[in-house]
Chains A and B, each alone.
Chain A
Amino acid sequence: VSAFDARYFDGRSSAARAVQVSVDGDGRVHVLGDGVAQSFPRGQVRVSARLGASPRYLYLPDGAKCETEDHAAVDAALAGGDGGLLHALERHWGTALASALFTAAFLWASFQYGLPFLARHAAHAVPPAMESDMGRQAMKVLDERLLAPTALDEAAQARVRAAFERVVAGLAVDHPVRLEMRSAEKLGANALALPSGIVVVTDQMVALAGNDEELMGVIAHELGHVHHRHIMRSILQNSAAALLVATLLGDVTSITGLAASIPTFLVEQQYSRAFEFEADAYALAWMRANGIAVAHYAAMLERLADAHGDTDGVTRYLSTHPSIGERVRAVEGG
């Protein structure tokens, strides 16, 4: 017979009564004291799981409840010894350390391999037709905020169009593509790939390119983004990363939300840089296959670095693009 002290609440009023709970040899639970004298078969008394040193609750079949801190006695008399599996995991620092290491490894593997893998497959499963609204929408927003109609003359436009056609002809792009030319004072020399295969080349980019080969390198790079579905993948990956962190932390309120947003932000930049390298590789493969010297691509990157100012060094971790120095080294090394 083991006995322990508890506070008894009948479930009908807030009155607290001091009781003693005991379990006899026949497996009956007795609750005695302060105007309470009850007994129940042990099987009908439910016991809450142990959770640190927080109180334990015994739920009696008539809706009453006993509350106690005597965990040893409760575990011995009613809950089968050790407080349950969860408590066994939670009571040791060893399992806590193992959990922390496992969580870190899980996050790393998910960010590095799991989410990119899932996003790649999901993005390729999206039919191109579904992207067309996204593309139209993105083009509209850009036209309103950043872009103006092209100021290139007919000859220059024809030159760009010819370069575009030549790149497309040499590639097996499994996606409809379209060229758009715009003037962009704010963006400067730039090229963009939008959903549904729209490639935007700015007048400033055309002016910056030293020759058609360099321009074709830029176009091939953007088509690489199209081919690899980078926009769709980044939308999917970034939302999945945010969802993953929120799910693990279990809440996204105030300060934990801030803590969650930092790794998510860094991961997003990392993904974006990975996509740039992938598009570079795509462009280089096209250039090699079509007998165009890879040096043109490196030259173009150098020009862009001069035009925009580069972000080598520590700041690159905050950037969506890899430093051009890095990319040039990758081009020359590969």
Chain B
Amino acid sequence: MERRNFLSVTDTPAPRPAAQAPAARPPLERQRYGFEFTGSAGEYFRVWIVNIALTAVTLGIYSAWAKVRNKQYFYGNTRLAGGSFEYTANPVNILKGRLLVLGAFIAYQAAAIFQPLLGAALALVLVPLIPWVVNRAISFNLRYSSYRGLRFHFDGRYWEAFRVYLLWTLAIGVTFGLAYPYVVWRRKQFFVDNARYGRSPFHFEGEVGWFYVVYIVGSLAYSGIMLVAVLLVVGGGVGLAALSGGIDPGQVDLGEWGKVLAAAALVAAYGGFLLSVLVFNAAVQAMIANHVWQRTRTADVTFDMRLDLFRIIWLQASNIAAIIASLGLAIPWARVRMVRYKLSCFSLLAVPADLERFVAAEREALSATGEELGEVLDLDLGL
């Protein structure tokens, strides 16, 4: 814990104690183990595009396999202390889950279009299912994630999810958004406190005050930038009108090129707005991720995340620009680049022997047969 303040992530190479002689006394001092991403953009591009083509050939059936393969690529290339992560979900279950969700969605849409009342009634029936779906979805993702041969687990209870995802979500509206940072904090707490690695539960000690600081500073900065942007657009428009011979709208005739310029300005303003929302969201998420991981522990292992705000903003903005300019072909490069940076800022602190001491949950040695219905639901809620 105390070393966290003196060491930065980059100057500490991650030790990889793959083979320790039993005779050697393991050091009792805590060490820093950095996460590392070993995939490459070129390799992932090929995996990505081949799987998209296979999904197209099979009219979507293959999408479940494609999802698993994409996830496996990122999990497998995530290295920590001489081990890799593994995503072990069965694509058949994901396919079943997708068909179920698609069927429900079509039924709901059809009901909403043809019989609005029936749609509303259906929504009433579906809402109480939300906490259950949230639990199953997180559980599914963790259960099929493993590291060093042990699975992760999630023990969220229905009523807890009910409070966090329904009651507190309602509170956001009632308080005109003031409760939002609190709700985000509750959700992180719900996620971390109910997660386990093998038998070892995670603990969350994040402070709700930090969430308020992040969201208040974030929205102030965002409003400021938006104000400047609006002034620039309005100013530019007035300037353009003045240049073309008067501010009276009746007299402005910009001609073909003027219209092109005006359209381009409109598209740029709209795109800039979307881009800034995404970039700001990434920055806020990064500040929250830093705090959440710095305040998370399991057994005697603590975590550390030090994302640099400006690096995140640059990566996100340039990723979006590249994706749009390449008509989507840069998606793999953008993903790899972002994940590589994030993992390079992520580490854990542990006495080496502690990493070897986690044990499997009781049921775990049995194979993962007997899937429950809920586990076919696979929704990425992500942390």
Contact = CB atoms under 8 A, between A and B. Distances in A.
Interface in A16-63: 16-18, 34-35, 51-55, 57, 63
Interface stretch (A73-81, A215-223, A311-319, A326-334): A311-319
Interface stretch (A97-105, A279-287, A289-297): A97-105
A250 B18 contact: no
A137 B86 CA distance: 50
Contacts of A55: 76, 84
A248 B55 contact: yes
Contacts of A95: 46, 50
Contacts of B267: 318
A86 interface: yes
A239 interface: yes
A247 B43 contact: no
B327 to A, nearest CB: 8
B198 A91 contact: no
B150 A14 contact: yes
Given A52-B43, A250-B63, A314-B263, A10 B84 contact: no
Contact of A14 (B73, B148, B324, B329): B148
A55 B39 CA distance: 11
B112 to A, nearest CB: 10
Contacts of B331: 249, 255-256, 259
A51 B76 contact: yes
Classify chain B's interface size: 35 or more
A250 B358 contact: no
Contacts of B248: none
B60 A247 contact: yes
B49 interface: yes
A321 B52 CA distance: 33
A277 interface: no
A315 B45 CA distance: 34
A187 interface: no
A235 B112 CA distance: 13
B278 A258 contact: yes
A11 B76 contact: no
A67 interface: yes
SS class, residues of chain B in contact with chain A? helix
B109 interface: yes
Contact of A247 (B63, B114, B115): B63
Given A7-B82, A67-B84, A314-B259, A14 B355 contact: yes
Interface-central residue, B50, B83, B331, by most chain A CB under 10 Å:
B50
Classify chain A's interface size: 35 or more
A78 B282 CA distance: 44
B114 A99 contact: no
B19 A103 contact: no
Nearest to B113: A134
Interface in B14-60: 18-19, 22, 38-40, 43-47, 49-53, 55-57, 60
B148 A16 contact: yes
A288 interface: no
A54 B149 contact: no
A250 B70 contact: yes
Interface string B143-154: 000011110000
Contact of B365 (A63, A131, A133): A63
A82 interface: no
Contacts of A98: 53
B66 interface: yes
B274 interface: yes
Nearest to A256: B331
Contacts of B44: 52
Contacts of B371: none
Interface-central residue, A253, A259, A262, A315, by most chain B CB under 10 Å:
A259
Contacts of A158: none
A137 B111 CA distance: 13
Contact of B53 (A13, A102, A315): A102
Contacts of B69: 51, 86
A51 B44 CA distance: 9
Contacts of A262: 324
Contacts of B382: 253
Given A7-B82, A14-B356, A16-B18, A315 B259 contact: yes
B316 A255 contact: yes
B334 interface: yes
Contacts of B334: 255
B4 interface: no
Nearest to B328: A259
20 contacts: A7-B18, A13-B360, A14-B149, A14-B359, A16-B356, A18-B18, A52-B39, A54-B72, A55-B84, A67-B83, A67-B84, A90-B46, A103-B53, A103-B56, A247-B55, A250-B55, A251-B67, A255-B334, A263-B327, A313-B263
Given A54-B73, A65-B149, A99-B52, 5 more contacts: A10-B149, A11-B365, A248-B52, A249-B331, A263-B327
Q: Which 9 A-B pairs have the closest CB atoms?
A: A9-B149, A54-B76, A99-B53, A18-B19, A14-B358, A15-B356, A14-B148, A96-B46, A315-B263
